[in-house]
Amino acid sequence: MPRAKAPALDACLPSDTTPTTALEIAAFLLGSTRHAYVVNDFDLFASYFDLPHKVATFEEARVVATRDDLRAIFTELRAHMTLVGALDIKWRVVSARWVTDRRITYTFTWQYVLPGYALSDEVVGNFNAHYADAKWRIGDGNYATTIEPVARAFKAAAS
């Protein structure tokens, strides 16, 4: 069975290509969720996640069961972004690989930034994503961090 291809990139992302490699798909998902954070568009952000969605840090694991849970995380991280004065989020894919023809796993870093200036430490994360219903979606996520705003955001989820 050939590997699933992602649909054309959303209009919000400047590209005329369709991601086909695990690395391109990971970059597409990070770029899409980054854009949603920056423009404060929860509905766009939520469209890239499966629910329930498992998230974990060094301290705890949580199940984000509902859109309200996901919104609580989004709202808390947006509030922190505003508090530190960040204008953007810098994402970087470290590695990505195919698990099956419809699943990838990828490691990434992210941090809040101003042009040319980091406002937070880098957070390392790992997502598992899969292709279903003609779209790539993020499933489980792990974050190698003890940074309080991230922990607070995950605790904001009711589950």
Q: Where are the domains of the chain?
A: 22-156
Distance between terminal CA atoms of the chain?
37
**Distance (Å, whole) CA 149 – CA 128:** 22
Contact call for residues 73 and 66 (beta carbons, < 8 A): no
**Contact criterion met (CB below 8 Å) for 105 and 99:** yes
- For range 58-86, the mean pLDDT: 87
- CATH assignment of 22-156, among 3.30.930.10, 3.40.50.720, 3.10.450.50, 3.40.640.10: 3.10.450.50
Q: Which of 11-20, 35-44, 50-59, 83-92 has the lowest mean pLDDT?
A: 11-20
Total residues belonging to the chain: 159
Average pLDDT over residues 68-78: 90
User: Tell me: the pLDDT tens digits for 101-124?
Assistant: 999 999 999 888 887 888 878 889
Which residue from 38, 57, 64, 61 is spatially nearest to 138, judged by alpha carbons?
A: 64
Angle between helices 22-38 and 67-84 (to 10 degrees): 70
- DSSP letters along 70-89, please? HHHHHHHHHHHHHHHT--EE
Segment 78-88, tens digit of pLDDT = 888 888 888 88
DSSP state of 98: E
Looking at residue 144, its pLDDT comes to 82
pTM score:
0.81
